[in-house]
Structure formats: C-alpha cells, structure tokens
Amino acid sequence: MILALKKKRNKKKLMEDENKVTLHGMWISSYAKTVELALKIKGIAFDYVEEDLSNKSSLLLKYNPVYKKVPVLLHRGRPVSESLVILEYIDETWKNQPRFLPDDPYERARVRFWAIYCRQISDTMKKAFISAQEVDEDRAFDEFFEKLQVMEEGMKDFFPGERSNNCSENLGLLDIIIVGSLGTYKAAEEVLGMKVLDPERNPFIYSWVNTLLELPLVKQTLPPHDKVVSRLEFIKQNGFTFQTNI
C-alpha cells in the first residue's frame, strides 16, 4: 500500500515537472510582459525568474545563447526564445480559448504582419525617447507618429467597428502586442511632458489601448506607473544605449 502511494506521488511529481512552465523576464521589458500576459490570459500556471540584463544569469545564457536576452519560456525543460515565437508557441500548445491567432491561414498572416509592425512602433518609440535627449522632442518622435498613423488606419480596416467594444471578451495576439508596445505610454508622457498617444490624432488606437489598460489581467501584469516613471527619468538624466530587448 505504502509503495503504491509512493509510486503514485512520484508519477504525479514527474508529470508536474514535465509540464512545468518558467518565464525568464525583466520587469521593464515590454517583450517579457507580453509573454507574461499571454500566460495569464490562457490560465497557465508558471514560475517567474527576474533577470538582470547588466549581469545575465548562467541560466539565461544557457537557454538563449544566441541573443542572450529576455524573454525565455522554459516548458518541459525546453527553452523557447523571442516573444512573438513564444506567443505562437503558447497558442499552439495550449489550445483553450481564447485563441491568439485565427484558424484561417490568410487571416493568421494578416495578424502576424500587424504584430511585427506594432513591434516596430514600440522600438521606434524607444529610440525616439533616447534621441529626444539630444534633439527637439517633436523631431525625435516624427517617425513614431508616422508609423502610429499607419497603424491607426490599418486597424480601422482590420477590426470592424470599435475594437474597444469587444476586445475584453476575446483577447488576441494584436491585443497582447499593443499592450506591450504602448501600455506604459502615460509614463513616457509624464517624463517627456508631451503627448505620445493623442485621442484626436489616433482615436482608434487611443480607445483600444486605454480599454485594455483597464482590464484586471493587464493591470496585474504591467509594472507600476511610478516605477516606470522613475526608470524613464533615470534614462533621461543619464542616457542609455538603446536595447531592443527592453
């Protein structure tokens, strides 16, 4: 009887170890936050490991030897890197609702296209924030505003009606990516003293983003506003080399 119980416990522990999920991230990394949000949306239990990119852990270097950056998802002892790749891996591995990508191949391709474009917007904003310390802020953000306007028009065509009306019921890949890209825009506005996301210039995206920011899971996932402001103030005062993994 005791031996049978031990075997049962060992089998259960083995199954738990095989299905264990661990996320290596960093609190300020927008890419890591998209993966964290995706795991929560799917209801996947996971362990979280906070990384210091100025002193990278041996595990991070082991699991992501190519880029040596976060996020890294460890599932069944196997690492998956790059946030967009990880998001698709999550959706394909855990097929419960909501699904992040549509079943139709053409629609999947459209979502992937805009997801990549939205990531470019995020990178452009980060570069603009850094360069705004050296040149006029309006000039520094010219490319960002141009890209944002292109996405504004693209999303009006992509989503019929107001996306803010139904995004909370069926969060998809673009919702997750837009949260990672623009979820902390208010902190950037506070530090820069300028509008980053304007409701008059970009009403669709403004409404979409702010609706998502009110969702409990999003509030739980994004870093505290004051903490982001403090980090951005530090960057503004001291300067930082732009890093795409943040």
Helix (H, G, I), strand (E, B) or coil at 132: coil
Q: Are residue 77 and residue 122 in the same domain, yes or no?
A: no
Dmax of the chain from CA atoms?
76
Q: Is the same domain home to 112 and 41?
A: no
pLDDT at residue number 214: 95
Residue 35 lies in a domain: yes
- Burial class from Cβ neighbours inside 10 Å (0-12, 13-18, 19+) for residue 178 reads buried
pLDDT tens by residue, 87-96: 999 999 999 9
DSSP notation for 171-234: --HHHHHHHHHHTTHHHHHHHHTS-SS-TTTSHHHHHHHHHHHTSHHHHHHSPPHHHHHHHHHH
Among 93, 115, 133, the domain boundary falls at 93
Supply the pLDDT for residue 165.
61
Which helix (H) or strand (E) is 240 found in, with range? none
Report pLDDT for 236.
81
Q: Is the pLDDT of residue 225 over 80?
A: yes
Shared-domain flag, residues 134 and 196: yes
Interatomic CA distance for residues 13 and 239, integer angstroms = 48
Residue 113 forms part of a structural domain: yes
| pLDDT of 131 | 80
Residue 243 lies in a domain: no
The string of pLDDT tens digits covering residues 36-59 is 999 999 999 999 999 998 999 999
Whether residues 174 and 131 fall in one domain: yes
- Examine the pLDDT at 159 and tell me if it is beyond 90: no
229 and 109 share a domain? yes
* Residue 246 included in any domain: no
Distances (CA, A) of 229 to 70, 144, 177, 211, 236: 21, 20, 21, 21, 10
Last residue of a domain, one of 69, 93, 117: 93
CB count in 10 Å sphere of residue 32: 27
Q: Are residues 206 and 130 in the same domain?
A: yes
> Residue 244 domain-assigned?
no
User: Which pLDDT value is given to residue 242?
Assistant: 47
30 and 135 housed in the same domain:
no
Nearest Cα residue to 37 out of 228, 187, 184: 184
Arithmetic mean of pLDDT over the chain? 88
Q: What is the pLDDT of residue 127?
A: 87
Query: What is the extent of the structural domain holding 161?
Result: 105-238
pLDDT band at 238 (very low <50, low <70, confident <90, very high): confident
Tokens 């906070």 identify what position?
50
Find where tokens 């699904």 sit: 99
Distances, alpha carbon 117 to alpha carbons 24, 132, 191, 231, in Å: 25, 22, 25, 26
Domain endpoint, select from 93, 121, 156: 93
Q: Is the pLDDT of residue 169 over 50?
A: yes
% of the chain exceeding 90 in pLDDT = 74
Q: Which residues are CB-neighbours of 230 under 8 A, at least 6 positions away? A: none
Q: What is the pTM of this model?
A: 0.89
d(CA 114, CA 154) in angstroms, rounded, equals: 8
Q: Is residue 161 part of a domain?
A: yes
The CATH code of the domain that includes 21 is: 3.40.30.10
Q: Is residue 11 a part of any domain in this protein?
A: yes
d(CA 193, CA 72): 34
What does the block give as tokens for 242? 């732009």
pLDDT band of residue 102 (cuts 50, 70, 90) is: very high
Q: How far apart are CA 205 and CA 208, in angstroms?
A: 5
- Reported confidence tier of residue 130, pLDDT bands at 50, 70, 90: confident
Q: What is the DSSP string of 150-178?
A: HHHHHHHHHSSS-GGGTTTTS--HHHHHH
The Cα–Cα gap between 52 and 25 comes to 9
Residue 14 has pLDDT above 70, yes or no: no
Q: What is the pLDDT of residue 17?
A: 61
> Is 99 part of a structural domain of the chain?
no
Domain count for the chain: 2
- Range scoring the smallest mean pLDDT among 56-60, 98-102, 233-237: 233-237
111 and 232 share a domain?
yes
- Residues 151 and 189 grouped into a single domain: yes
